[in-house]
Amino acid sequence: MEDSGRTEPDQAIIEVVKMLDNGTLEICHGVTMRNGPRPAITGWTSEPGDPDFVEFATRHGVTKPGQVSTIRKELREGKWTETQEKLGDW
């Protein structure tokens, strides 16, 4: 599969974090490998006070309801790159 002239990464890690109206984080984490099994995707919610709430809120920068952040890490030829896309009112 080609993407703008680039080949598919050897591995990709994708995190999506959305802050809901009540301040809870909706988190989706996925890992894909070019020659591996089907993608492993997990999803959960985290409320203020939960052990992972601060970690994900800080990493993604979400601070108010409606904000959505997607961080994509890709491994290509032994080198990791990271991009972030933000949606909502930042």
Tell me the pLDDT tens digit for each residue of 20-74.
999 999 999 999 888 877 778 999 999 999 999 999 999 999 999 999 999 999 9
Q: How far apart are CA 74 and CA 65, in angstroms?
A: 28
Residue 6's pLDDT is: 64
Residue 5's pLDDT is: 56
Quick one: which H or E segment has residue 84?
A: strand 79-87
